[in-house]
Amino acid sequence: MLKLKKLPDGCTGRRQRNGCDTCGARAFSVCLSIDDANLSRLNALAERIALAPGDVLIREGDPASHVFNISGGSVRVYRLLSDGRRQITGFLFAGDFLGLATGDRYAFSAEAIESGSVCRFRKPDYRALILTTPALEAILLDRAHHELAAAQAQMLLLGRKTAIERVATFLRDLPGVDPMRPLPAGRVHLPMTRAEMADYLGLTIETVSRVLTRLKTEGVIRLLSLNQLEIARPKRLEALADGEA
Amino acid sequence: MLKLKKLPDGCTGRRQRNGCDTCGARAFSVCLSIDDANLSRLNALAERIALAPGDVLIREGDPASHVFNISGGSVRVYRLLSDGRRQITGFLFAGDFLGLATGDRYAFSAEAIESGSVCRFRKPDYRALILTTPALEAILLDRAHHELAAAQAQMLLLGRKTAIERVATFLRDLPGVDPMRPLPAGRVHLPMTRAEMADYLGLTIETVSRVLTRLKTEGVIRLLSLNQLEIARPKRLEALADGEA
DNA sequence: CGCAGCCTTGACCATTATCAACGCTGGTGG
DNA sequence: CCACCAGCGTTGATAATGGTCAAGGCTGCG
């Protein structure tokens, strides 16, 4: 089943706090109704694929043959330099699209972090569909613009924020990005490893680890386990994220 | 007159090498023909505005009342932290759009670098237009995806490249971004100051200056004036940009 | 129980930022 | 016409943030 999240105005793409009604998540970001006929036509073309951790969805440089929509789980999207340095450009969750750009080669790689599943469409099917479904195109345009805003926010982080500010921003923005995993307020789930956080934030593993320890020591967060933490002082975290401390 | 550049497949947005036929620039990135009726309807709604250096087009947080299309000159787009740290997220040139994101507030600021001009549309006019012009929507979606790819490349630069690699990448990608300013091959025009280069590359003015001096000393570039330089060893620049040296 | 993989912590180092001085250049006014 | 000034750029000395290298600890799985 294809899922479409409608982004609230002023939100920065995959950063929205809430999920999708029919995805089993919470209010305010509701499934957008393209009409049922089109939706079922769309789903008829979809190939459902289960994902195990580490599964490759897209490899940079491969022919751009498919478009994906994440149904569940989490995915890392990244670019590499020739010597292996990696920049993770985003984490994707249920409802997110992947591989929409034109161009005959993918410009990035994408791999599953957790087990989950995706809908896959062949590019020609996708193109045909979009030509006959202006509503879908409008949704995608809207989403693309929100992703662009999120990308700009990430550039600000990478270009101008300190290590603490980066980690604080990350922890502040992470709650609620996964509509499939509703958590109690202040609770954050980290499906990714420290290495992935580091490659997303433009830091090293060691720096991420040190900053988390420091945030814990200062009572801003509580580490419940490696992949689960609690925000003890949200105001303080917010201030740190915006460089106001 | 509104200008629309068609992006070549596989190109990363505003990085394309060539301009627009009717913009007075070179081949391969040609003006896309949405039909004449729509184009003139579009132009009828446009307000033409002349720009002087430093003129503010958009201020972060202001109501998002307009959409812009650059006719000529260059524009810097940036985000600020509360203490004044600035990240320039992009430079825009003739043909580029500005302010397309939905949301009732702008999430970034934009100012003219050089004198030039823009077409300005009121948001409701733009929305109405797009509803009745699927071709335009398709173009914008395509452009948005290319900008997204460019944004990912910039994240790789900001998160993982060294100072030299950043400057080399910048100099490699800059030729040809301005369709209104065709230059001899290997010649690069820098409309922006060192401070703007620094804020785009996530560096300081001093580091940019030092790196340029070093590239000059090593014979990779020649500085013709503060705003004009020549790439003496393009292969070497390319290698530096991709971190292969 | 033991091992592998991930995480944390510590000591040290390097890249780049910061602070400061000086130089160039273009515009203005004496 | 020349001198001065403001703004921008360069260069140098020093400092600090975050990276690198290394050792040890935890945890979950076989």
State pLDDT tens for residues B85-140.
999 999 999 999 999 999 999 999 999 999 999 999 999 999 998 888 888 899 99
Mutate to test the interface with B, among A14, A92, A158, A166 (most CBs of B within 10 A): A158
Q: Which residue has the higher pLDDT, B167 or A102?
A: B167
Q: State yes or no: pLDDT of B28 exceeds 50.
A: no
Structure tokens at A75: 């995915």
Q: Give the pLDDT mean for B64-78.
A: 96
pLDDT score, position B6: 63
Structure tokens at A82: 């020739």
pLDDT exceeding 90 applies to what percent of chain B? 69
Task: Compute CA distances A130 → A34, A99, B13, B70, whole Å.
Answer: 12, 14, 21, 28
Distance (Å, whole) CA B167 – CA A52: 39
Quickly state the pLDDT bin for B180 (edges 50, 70, 90). confident
Quickly state the pLDDT bin for B30 (edges 50, 70, 90). very low
Closest-CA distance, A132 to chain B, in angstroms, reads 10
Quickly state the pLDDT bin for B176 (edges 50, 70, 90). confident
Mutate to test the interface with B, among A87, A100, A126 (most CBs of B within 10 A): A87
The answer to whether the CB of A5 falls within 8 A of the CB of A179 is yes
* Chain B environment of A29 (Cβ under 8 Å): none
Closest partner residue to A202 (CB to CB) among B145, B152, B159 is B159
Distance (Å, whole) CA A67 – CA A111: 14
Distance (Å, whole) CA A205 – CA B220: 34
Report the distance from CA of residue B164 to the C1' of nucleotide C20 in Å, as an integer: 24
pTM reported for the whole predicted model: 0.90
The answer to whether the CB of A99 falls within 8 A of the CB of A68 is yes
Question: Mean of the per-residue pLDDT values for chain B?
Answer: 86
What number of other Cβ atoms are within 10 A of residue A48's Cβ? 12
Nucleotides of D under 7 A from a protein CB: 8-13, 17-22, 27-28
Please tell me the number of Cα atoms within 13 Å of B131 on its side-chain side.
6
* Chain A environment of B245 (Cβ under 8 Å): none
The answer to whether the CB of A21 falls within 8 A of the CB of A30 is yes
Residue B159 in contact with partner chain A when CB distance is under 8 A: yes
Task: List the strands of the sheet with B66-72, edge to edge.
Answer: B47-51, B116-122, B66-72, B97-98
pLDDT score, position A162: 98
Distance (Å, whole) CA A133 – CA A156: 35
Q: Which residue has the higher pLDDT, B195 or A5?
A: B195
Q: Does the beta-carbon distance from A137 to B142 stay under 8 Å?
A: no
Q: CB neighbours of B112 closer than 8 A, spacing ≥ 6?
A: B51, B52, B53, B54, B55, B57, B73, B74, B75
Averaged over successive runs of 10 residues, the pLDDT of chain A (245 residues) comes to 56 37 30 58 84 95 96 96 97 94 95 95 92 87 95 98 98 87 87 97 98 97 93 97 90
Please report which helix (H) or strand (E) contains residue B210, including its range: helix B205-217
Q: How many A/B residue pairs have CB atoms within 8 Å?
A: 151
Mutate to test the interface with A, among B78, B89, B164 (most CBs of A within 10 A): B89
Best mean pLDDT range from A160-169, B25-34, B47-56: A160-169
Using a 7 Å CB cutoff, list residues 175-194 of B near strand D. 193-194
Distance (Å, whole) CA B192 – CA B211: 16
Which of A160, A62, A107, A203 lies closest to B152, judged by CA? Answer: A107
Residue B148 in contact with partner chain A when CB distance is under 8 A: yes
pLDDT score, position A35: 62
Closest partner residue to A101 (CB to CB) among B149, B161, B244 is B149
pLDDT score, position B175: 86
Which of A74, A58, A139 lies closest to A106, judged by CA? Answer: A58
Quickly state the pLDDT bin for B20 (edges 50, 70, 90). very low
